[in-house]
């Protein structure tokens, strides 16, 4: 894996010229009077949940509208009812709002324009620019040719306008079966751009549509519908990803031949690729169906809903998109950059609290048995504005199992027999021994404390090298903590030889007997905290309850990733 620092430095150098190329084109269009306003859109197909790559497109389109005082639309390209669901529509709306892209009252559907698209198709037929074709889908592919061989014209290409109009109306009336006839644009079967070789623009599909019900049994193809939608909404700049670059001549052809007064302009940019993550909808669908993940919002995925559930913030994703920049060349970005962004966003915002994930009991033998004292603890040492809280301290505590060793290794400064450490925000304690079960496992650690060493007392008579965190046993809340790793086995790569996903069996480790301090009482879904030494954690939005709190680890505390200014 490339070092993330080198990746970022290389990306920054490449972007110096190209990162604002879209804005440069918009500036040029406005200066030359091509447009007198800027209007952008995000046009998802509602056939799955959005992922991190879509976040880049959303924020880019919304950001351009904001920069130029323009407007931003959310529009669903719902022209393929076989894969589309209302569930996906609702999730996309929620994701776009969560990211902060305000489309105000401009929520549209391609299906809102089906009648206008039909009229455009009729116009093309009347102009001799479209015809009804009876070739099968396989025959159309054969006739199309390839990059070295020009296509052959359909034997139905020269039907009369009258016959084409009649058959197209009959298609709409439901007189033909799926696949029996299609409407094709009449352009150029010898074009070097295969997309221009008489593409299909309407097909018969007797399918129930999530928005229009059974009103239609013919549906426009994406390449025909999309430019019409943009033109109707007076979109000025249709910002899309690089795979649509070869479709641009067809986009312009449709707008021109359908005689729109304000033609939009398509500009392409590079997609956002994250290393070793799953974004393909068919793969995610299978993971969901096989029960490997618990839904499209499983925190191991990089759908926007999954990132939100895991604890990522809109601010962190915006920071990430800004760092990645906009370019014309596809490239991959390491997931560590996204983790860097969430750490940067949370480190000054969130309280630093104590939670024990792998507990072992610590008993302070000389501490009063029934006493509970409340210690003043800063919520975030780097941000005094977050204030302080009271943390209970008592004779019996929970500490991390790794913070005790009966036979310490070299340079181990935590608890072992005879060693003194500081209990964070509390007292110095000296380990006196431990208890074990029948199998030799340590169950309880014993120590004594020095009451003169209370934190904040000014005691400095001696120093200790180790400081450990803790939770008072009497007031602790039991919780479940879920530790996530990449769902892909990074060492073996994303895919096996048979095309199946190479999954990491340790992508989720659920620790069900964790203990947290009582300050967590009242924490609600999506609330996040820094757990001392263990990372940033978020209250799970689906499974956590006041009686059984569930925390998702957003990200660990440490990273080798650094921004080079």
Same fold, 37-273 and 352-555: no
Read off the pTM: 0.89
pLDDT digits (tens, 9 = 90+) for 226-241: 999 999 999 999 999 9
pLDDT at 433 exceeding the cut of 90: yes
Q: Where are the beta strands (DSSP E) in 195-347?
A: 200-204, 218-220, 237-241, 265-269, 272-274, 331-333
pLDDT digits (tens, 9 = 90+) for 286-344: 899 999 999 999 999 999 999 999 999 999 999 999 999 898 888 788 889 999 999 99
Q: CA–CA separation, 251 vs 246, rounded Å?
A: 10
pLDDT at 277: 86
Q: CA–CA separation, 439 vs 436, rounded Å?
A: 8
The domain spans of the chain are 37-273, 274-346, 352-555
pLDDT digits (tens, 9 = 90+) for 175-227: 999 999 999 999 999 999 999 999 999 999 999 999 999 999 999 999 999 99
Q: Which tokens go with 442?
A: 């340590």
Which residues touch 57 (CB under 8 Å, ≥6 apart)? 42, 239, 240, 241
Q: What is the assigned CATH class of domain 37-273?
A: alpha beta
pLDDT digits (tens, 9 = 90+) for 111-167: 999 999 999 999 999 999 999 999 999 999 999 999 899 999 999 999 999 999 999
* Helix and strand counts by DSSP (H, E) for the chain: 13, 27
Architecture of the domain whose range is 274-346:
Orthogonal Bundle (1.10)
**Percentage of the residues of the chain whose pLDDT score is greater than 90:** 82
pLDDT at 283 exceeding the cut of 90: no
Helix (H) or strand (E) holding 55: helix 52-67
pLDDT band at 12 (very low <50, low <70, confident <90, very high): very low
Q: How far is CA 17 from CA 7, 11, 24, in A?
A: 17, 11, 11
pLDDT digits (tens, 9 = 90+) for 354-405: 999 999 999 999 999 999 999 999 999 999 999 999 999 999 999 999 999 9
- CATH superfamily assigned to domain 352-555: Ribosomal Protein L25; Chain P (2.40.240.10)
pLDDT digits (tens, 9 = 90+) for 46-94: 998 999 999 999 999 999 999 999 999 999 999 999 888 899 999 999 9
Phi (first) and psi of residue 477, to 5 degrees = -105, 130
């Amino acid at each position: 894996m490339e070092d993330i620092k080198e990746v970022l430095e290389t990306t920054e150098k490449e972007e110096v010229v190209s990162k604002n190329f879209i804005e440069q084109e918009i500036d040029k269009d406005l200066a030359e009077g091509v447009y007198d306003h800027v209007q952008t859109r995000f046009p998802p197909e509602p056939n799955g949940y959005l992922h991190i790559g879509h976040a880049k497109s959303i924020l880019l389109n919304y950001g351009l509208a904001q920069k130029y005082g323009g407007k931003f639309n959310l529009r669903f390209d719902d022209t393929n009812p076989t894969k589309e669901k209302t569930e996906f529509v609702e999730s996309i709306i929620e994701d776009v709002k969560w990211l902060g892209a305000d489309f105000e009252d401009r929520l549209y559907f391609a299906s809102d324009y089906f009648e206008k698209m039909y009229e455009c198709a009729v116009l093309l037929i009347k102009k001799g620019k479209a015809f009804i074709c009876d070739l099968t889908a396989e025959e159309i592919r054969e006739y199309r040719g390839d990059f070295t061989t020009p296509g052959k014209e359909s034997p139905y290409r020269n039907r009369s306008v009258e016959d084409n109009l009649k058959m197209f109306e009959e298609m709409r009336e439901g007189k033909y079966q799926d696949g029996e006839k299609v409407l094709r644009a009449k352009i150029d079967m010898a074009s070097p751009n295969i997309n221009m070789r008489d593409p299909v623009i309407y097909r018969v599909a007797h399918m129930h549509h999530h928005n229009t019900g059974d009103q239609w049994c013919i549906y426009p193809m994406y390449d025909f519908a999309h430019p019409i939608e943009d033109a109707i909404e007076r979109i000025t700049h249709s910002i899309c990803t690089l795979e649509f670059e070869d479709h641009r001549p067809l986009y312009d052809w449709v707008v021109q031949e359908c005689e729109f007064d304000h033609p939009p302009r398509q500009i392409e940019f590079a997609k956002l690729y994250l290393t070793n993550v799953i974004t393909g909808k068919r793969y995610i669908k299978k993971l969901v169906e096989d029960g490997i993940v618990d839904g499209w919002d499983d925190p191991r995925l990089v759908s926007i809903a999954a990132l939100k559930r895991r604890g990522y913030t809109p601010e962190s994703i915006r920071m990430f998109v800004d760092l990645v920049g906009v370019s014309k060349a596809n490239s991959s970005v390491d997931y560590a950059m996204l983790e860097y962004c969430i750490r940067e966003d949370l480190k000054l915002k969130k309280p630093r609290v104590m939670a024990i994930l792998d507990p072992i009991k610590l008993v302070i033998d000389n501490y009063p048995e029934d006493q509970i004292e409340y210690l003043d603890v800063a919520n975030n040492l780097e941000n005094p504005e977050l204030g302080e809280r009271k943390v209970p301290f008592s004779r019996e505590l929970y500490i991390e199992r790794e913070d005790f060793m009966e036979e310490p290794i070299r340079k181990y400064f935590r608890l072992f027999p005879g060693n003194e450490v500081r209990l964070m925000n509390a007292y110095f304690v000296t380990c006196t021994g431990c208890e074990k079960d029948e199998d030799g496992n340590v169950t309880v650690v014993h120590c004594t404390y020095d009451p003169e060493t209370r934190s904040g007392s000014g005691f400095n008579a001696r120093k200790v090298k180790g400081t450990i965190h803790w939770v008072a046993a009497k007031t602790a809340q039991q919780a479940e903590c879920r530790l996530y790793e990449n769902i892909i086995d990074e060492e073996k790569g994303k895919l096996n030889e048979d095309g199946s996903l190479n999954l990491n069996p340790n992508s989720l480790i659920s620790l069900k007997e964790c203990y947290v301090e009582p300050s967590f009482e009242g924490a609600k879904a999506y609330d996040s905290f820094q757990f001392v030494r263990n990372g940033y954690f978020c209250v799970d939005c689906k499974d956590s309850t006041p009686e059984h709190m569930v925390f998702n680890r957003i990200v660990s505390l440490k990273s080798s990733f650094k921004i080079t200014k």
